[in-house]
Structure 1
Amino acid sequence: MTIEKINHPYLTAIKRTDLSVPVRYLMQHSLLRGRILDFGCGFGYDTDELKRRGYDIIGYDYYYRPEYPEGKFDTIFCVYVLNVLEPYAQAEVMMNVSNLLSPKGTAYFAVRRDIKEVGFRFHAIYREYTYQCNVRLPFLSLECNSSYELYRYNHFNKLPRKKGETCSFCNLSRSVEVICETATCVAFYDGYPVSPGHALIIPKRHVASYFDLTNHEREAMNIMLQYVKQKIDERYHPDGYNIGINVNEAAGQSVFHVHMHLIPRYKGDVKNPKGGVRGVIPGKHIV
C-alpha cells in the first residue's frame, strides 16, 4: 500500500520567545529600513516584537496571518520559508516578494543550512508529512554558517552593471517597472508597449534562442507567465491576450536575448482581431 505524502509546511512554524537569528542580524546591522514586511511570518513573533520596538512593520503568513499585504515595501525579510516548500511554491514566494518590494527596496531570504536529509518527513508531534530541502540562491550572501545563510536581493535592474555588457536586457533599464522575479527569470513592463500592460518575461542568463533554454528555464518562464497574467488582470482588466516569442531575425527578433511577450488585448483595439498571431504574415491570417 502506497501512502500519499501531502506537504503541510505550516507545521514548521515555531512559537518563538526571542527574535530569530537572521532578524537579529538585520537589526544589528541597521538593515531594517522604512516600511517593512515579514513575509511568511508564521505565528508572528518577529513581526510583533519589532513593532513593539518601534519599527513600521506588518506580517503576512498564508496560514496564520492570511490578509495579503497591500502596496510596496522598503524592506522585506523571508525567514526559513523556502526550505519547507516544494519548487513551485518556492517560485511563488519569490515572485510575491519581488512584486511587493519597492523599486529601491531590499529583500532578505534566510535559509537553513543544517538540513541533512531532503524530502518528506513525518512530523513526530503533528503526525503529518512536512517537506524540507536545501536552497541555494544566486544572490549576495551576507552571512553563512552551519545553521543558516542570509541572502540579499535587489531587483534585477538595480544590480551593479557588468563592465562591457552590451545586451539591453542584461543591462535592463533602471526605469522599467519590474513585475516579479525568480532565481532564473524576471518579468517587467515593456518600455514601448503595444497596449497598456504589455509585459516581457526573460531568463536572466543571456541566451538568444528560446530553443536553447534549459528545461528549467522554460518551465520557470511558463510559471512566471501565469503570475504576470494575474497581475496584469488586476491592474488593467484586459479582454484577451496574445503570447509570443520571436526566434531569429527572419521571425522579427531584434534583441537577441530570449523574451516572451504577453500583450493584453482590448475589445475594439483593432478593427478585426480574427486570426490573432496568424497575422504576423499579412494576408495569411484569415482562415
Structure 2
Amino acid sequence: MKQPRNNPHLTAIERNAISFPTRWLAQHSLLNGEILDFGCGYGYDTHQLQKQGYNIVGYDNYHRPDYPKKRFDTIICNYVLNVLEPNEQAEVLMAVSELLKPTGKAFYSVRRDLKKEGFRMHFVHKKPTYQCNVLLPFKSLYANENCEIYQYQPYNQLSRSDKGCPFCTLAPEIELLTETATTIAFLDAFPVNPGHALIVPKRHVADYFDLSIHEQRALWLVINRCKTIIQNRFNPDGFNIGINNGEAAGQSISHVHIHLIPRYRGDVKRPKGGIRGVIPGKQNY
C-alpha cells in the first residue's frame, strides 16, 4: 500500500509534556487496546504512554517511517491534518480507516487557533509550511478556541435512521476497503468477479451529475486507492470502471455508486469491447 504523502516540509516540534489531546483522551479512558499514534512526530506522546503501560506504537513519515502492518483498536492523529492540503488530508483519512479494526475508534485533533490559511514560515524549522482550518463530519468530543477533537468510527459501524437505502445503512458485516470524509468503498455483496468494489458518496444522491465537484473528485481519489488495494490483494489483469446512472442505464439502487470490477484473463471468452457490451450486439466492432 502506498503510504500517505506528507507535507514536503518538517512540522514536528520537540515536546516536554504530553500533548493536550492525548492527555484528554487518556483522562477520558478512550485509549484502549492496541494503539497507534499516526503522525507521531518525534514520538514524545508515544514514549510517555508506553512508560505508563499503554500498548502503543508510533508512525511518522519522517521520524518513524516503518509503515504499520497490522490493524489497531485505537488510533490517534494529533495536529496532522492542519498542515496538509486537501488531497493529502484524504490520504491520511483513508490510511487511518484502513489501519483501524472494524470495531475500533480513531481520534483526530485539529487546531482551532489558526488566524490565516496558506503558507507560513515554520517557527522551528524556518521553512514555508502549509496550514489550514479543518472541519470533519465526525462526532466532536471536545472543542475550545485552541483545538477540536473528533471521534471517527467506520461508516458501517454507525447507526443511522434512514433504513430505506442499503448504502446509507451499510451492514456491519460488509467489508470496508477505505473511507474519506465524503466517500466510502467496500466489497460488493454480489461480486461480478473477486475483488469487485463499490465506491459510494456518503450523501444520499441518486444522480452522479447532481454531486458537487468536490464529491466527484473524492470518488475518483478513492477509486485510485481501491485499485491499489485490489491489485495487491487479488492481482487482477485489468479493470472495468462504470456507473449505472438512471433507470434506463440499469441503475437499481437510487444512490450513486461506481463499480470497480477486476478482470482476469479467461473470465469471458471475448473481452474485446468491454463496457460496450451493455448493449447486446455492440460489444464487437
Give the TM-score normalised by structure 2: 0.95
- 1:9–1:85: 8 Å Cα contact kept in structure 2? no
2:30 is matched with 31
- 1:40–1:78: 8 Å Cα contact kept in structure 2? yes
The residue type equivalent to 1:110 in the other structure is S
1:153 aligns with 2:143: no
2:213 is matched with 215
After the TM superposition, which of the residue ranges 44-53 and 128-137 deviates more from structure 2? 44-53
- 1:8–1:128: 8 Å Cα contact kept in structure 2? no
- 1:9–1:131: 8 Å Cα contact kept in structure 2? no
1:182-261 map, 5 Å: 182-261=180-259
- 1:123–1:130: 8 Å Cα contact kept in structure 2? yes
After the TM superposition, which of the residue ranges 75-84 and 165-174 deviates more from structure 2? 165-174
1:1-287 map, 5 Å: 8=7, 10-162=9-161, 164-287=162-285
* Matches of 2:10 and 2:268, distance apart in 1: 52
The residue type equivalent to 2:116 in the other structure is E
Report the alpha carbon displacement of residue 16 of structure 1 after superposing the two structures with TM: 1.0
CA RMSD between the two structures: 1.2
The residue type equivalent to 1:207 in the other structure is V
The answer for unaligned runs of 5 or more in structure 1 is 1-6
Report the alpha carbon displacement of residue 278 of structure 1 after superposing the two structures with TM: 0.7
Q: How many residues align?
A: 280
1:3 is matched with none
Q: Deviations over 1:178-224 (max 9, x none)?
A: 11111111111111111111111110000001111100000000111
What secondary structure sits across from 2:216 in the alignment? helix
Report the alpha carbon displacement of residue 126 of structure 1 after superposing the two structures with TM: 3.1
- 2:188–2:198: 8 Å Cα contact kept in structure 1? yes
* Matches of 2:9 and 2:28, distance apart in 1: 29
* Matches of 1:161 and 1:123, distance apart in 2: 42
Report the alpha carbon displacement of residue 122 of structure 1 after superposing the two structures with TM: 2.1
* Matches of 1:120 and 1:10, distance apart in 2: 11
What secondary structure sits across from 2:89 in the alignment? helix
- 2:201–2:256: 8 Å Cα contact kept in structure 1? yes
* Matches of 2:104 and 2:31, distance apart in 1: 11
Report the alpha carbon displacement of residue 8 of structure 1 after superposing the two structures with TM: 4.7
Q: Deviations over 1:63-112 (max 9, x none)?
A: 11111101211100100000000001000000000111111000000000
The residue type equivalent to 1:46 in the other structure is D
Q: Deviations over 1:120-170 (max 9, x none)?
A: 0123443321000000101110000011000000011111221x5311110
